[in-house]
Amino acid sequence: MHDIKLIRECPEIFDKALEKRGESSKSSKIIALDTQRRKTIEKLEKLLAERKMLSKKFGAAEKNNDDTTISIRDDIKKMKHEIALLETSLRDIEEDLEALLLSIPNLLSDDVPIGQKETDNVEVYRWGEIKSFNFQPKEHFEVAATKNDINFEAASKVTGSRFVFLSKSVALLHRALTQYMLNTNIIESELTEFWAPVLVNEQSMLGTGQLPKFREDSYHTNDGLWLIPTAEVPLTNIGKDKIYSIEELPIRMTAATQCFRSEAGSAGKDTTGMIRQHQFEKVEMVTFCKPEFENFELERMTDCAERILKNLLIPFRKILLCSGDIGFGSKKTYDLEVWLPGQNRYREISSCSICGNFQSRRINIRYKNDRESKPQFISTLNGSGLAVGRCLVAVVENNQQEDGSVEIPEVLRPYMFNFKKIDNNGNLN
């Protein structure tokens, strides 16, 4: 959501900021609706005051048996009709204004590079050594150690395409990754763990910006609840209508949840493998902070995600997203992309974003510097720490051996009964 006052006072700056995203000017339409709304409110308040005076006049006339009571009653009846019309008009104007504001993406930070597509993103740095295999590395679902326990065919019969069954050692590896990510976030990165619902109401989806923009990419139930696309939604909405004291900030949260996306706009993309599924698991991070610390918190959050990849010894690169590739609710985003030797390319495994007050305005999350100060909107951030299925893909592909076995990264072994390998039959070894 955007600040009407700011748009009213600086329409050129607002339109210039939208232009950076490739969006057309919106300020004139917003200001026109806002002006209409304010004039309607003014007329309504005037009529309400007049009706109040007439009601007092009617009471006095009736008490004194004045013969003007019939005339006054008729005037009140007429005024009630005018008030009802104005209230309906105001409701329509406010709905139109809200719909317009909800459809406008977040304004970008000054340091976001200008670009139109993925190739215009800026690489910040690379970490890790890409292994040189003396054989042709395979994709995760082709490696002998895992291929029998990554079952798309059975899931297709049970549910449909873009779902998967994991079993035996692969299921254990997936669970181990989730547990390791959470423990790392809690112990090393000092985040607070939450267990969160995966069904939320529509207002929660609106609050974080999934609606109305991504309605077609989301699943919803017959009773109006929505399946979350990420734990960002329930975690951020924890702050709904709250006013935090300055001593409580920053608030840094993490949660592992199942996530659901219909991927309506991804027809034909990643039709094989676990890269793009309708149901997947993700460890999410969400931060509430004072606006002046949002850049510090973005670097910190991204470091939390990087720490996991470094401990797993998975090569990755850090990317600053350009204006044409950044998310709807973000003002600045870093992507982390892991190297997948089976695909011979980097693939996204984490996005860490500053949302500023874009979400907190929608959800009404504020803080106070002291007891006497006026409440201000906090900055929210969110990021993946990490996408579990994609991390499993990276672990399998980067640790595959020529005989089809997979070495288990050392930091995961305590979560896998201290075994060191998944052999080419899928057994722990």
- Where on the phi/psi map is residue 94: left (φ > 0), alpha (ψ -120 to 50), or beta? alpha
H or E element in which residue 328 lies: none
Q: What is the pLDDT along the chain (429 residues), one digit of tens a residue?
A: 799 999 999 999 999 999 999 999 999 999 999 999 999 999 999 999 888 888 777 767 666 666 667 777 777 888 888 999 999 999 999 999 999 999 999 999 999 999 999 999 999 999 999 999 999 999 999 999 999 999 999 999 999 999 999 999 999 999 999 999 999 999 999 999 999 999 999 999 999 999 999 999 999 999 999 999 999 999 999 999 999 999 999 999 999 999 999 976 566 677 789 999 999 999 999 999 999 999 999 999 999 999 999 999 999 999 999 999 999 999 999 999 999 999 999 999 999 999 999 999 999 999 999 988 999 999 999 999 999 999 999 999 999 999 999 999 999 999 999 999 999 999 999
**The amino acid at 262:** S
Return the closest-CA partner of residue 353 out of 321, 385, 325, 381.
Answer: 381
Decide: 206 and 363 in contact? Cβ < 8 Å.
no
Residue keyed to tokens 């959501």: 1
Q: What topology does CATH give the domain 118-422?
A: BirA Bifunctional Protein; domain 2 (3.30.930)
Identify the CATH assignment for 4-102 out of 3.50.50.60, 1.10.287.40, 3.40.190.10, 3.40.640.10.
1.10.287.40
Domain positions in the chain are: 4-102, 118-422
20-29 — which CB contacts under 8 Å span 24+ positions?
20/108, 20/112, 20/114, 20/323, 21/105, 21/108, 21/323, 21/324, 21/326, 22/116, 22/323, 22/324, 23/104, 23/105, 26/100, 26/104, 29/100
Cα 228 to the chain's mean position, in Å? Answer: 10
**The amino acid at 230:** T
User: Rounded to whole angstroms, how far apart are CA atoms 303 and 189?
Assistant: 9
Strand partners, 288: 251, 380
Return the closest-CA partner of residue 380 out of 247, 282, 248, 236.
Answer: 236
Helices and strands per DSSP (H, E), number in the chain: 12, 17
The pTM of this model reads: 0.92
Classify 429 as helix, strand or coil.
coil
